[in-house]
Amino acid sequence: MGIYTHICLGTNDLDRSKRFYDAVLAPLGIINLGDFPDQGVAYGHHLAEFVLLRPLDGSQATPANGGTVSFKAPGRAAVRAFHVAGLTAGGSDAGAPGPRGAVEQAYGVYLRDPDGNKICAYCFGAND
């Protein structure tokens, strides 16, 4: 069992963020579940686990300094596809696909979304 009920990131342009996350999460099998009440859009497998929101207080959304949201990938090909999809959809590179030394067999990639949030995709295995 995971330790999170959900994760939210703020956005200043919901339509742009939808296009970006629809593209980047598709290789991981994570789908757009539709609008999240009046303030955003939800993603997951069956339930809203990742949510993009316009800030409720009306202020600008800003990325966290040191914060990263990591998505589980089914394999190395999906990690690489996540990276390509993110760059194509308006994100920027924050660490090319490759082995990561912190955990044995870790293979990951880092992107900045169009709002500057740092996201990554990881798999743990020697295959692919």
pLDDT tens profile 28-81: 999 999 998 888 999 999 999 999 999 989 899 999 888 999 999 999 999 999
SS3 (DSSP) at 65? coil
Regarding beta strands 40-44 and 50-53, do their DSSP bridges make them parallel or antiparallel, or are they unpaired?
antiparallel
The predicted pLDDT at position 20 comes to 98
* pLDDT score at 4: 83
More confidently predicted of 125 and 126? 125
What's residue 104's pLDDT? Answer: 85
Helix 14-25 vs helix 76-88: angle between axes, to the nearest 10 degrees? 150
pLDDT number for residue 1: 62
Query: Rounded to an integer, what is the distance from CA 39 to the centroid of its chain?
Result: 18
CA 9 → CA 3, 68, 101, distances in Å? 18, 10, 27
How many CA atoms are closer than 13 Å to the CA of 47, on its beta-carbon side? Answer: 5
All domains of the chain in start order, with CATH: 7-55+67-124 (3.10.180.10)
Rounded distance, CA 50 to CA 55, Å? 15
Confidence of residue 128 (pLDDT cuts 50, 70, 90): low
The reported pTM is: 0.90
- What was the pLDDT predicted at 101? 80
Question: What's the pLDDT at 17?
Answer: 96
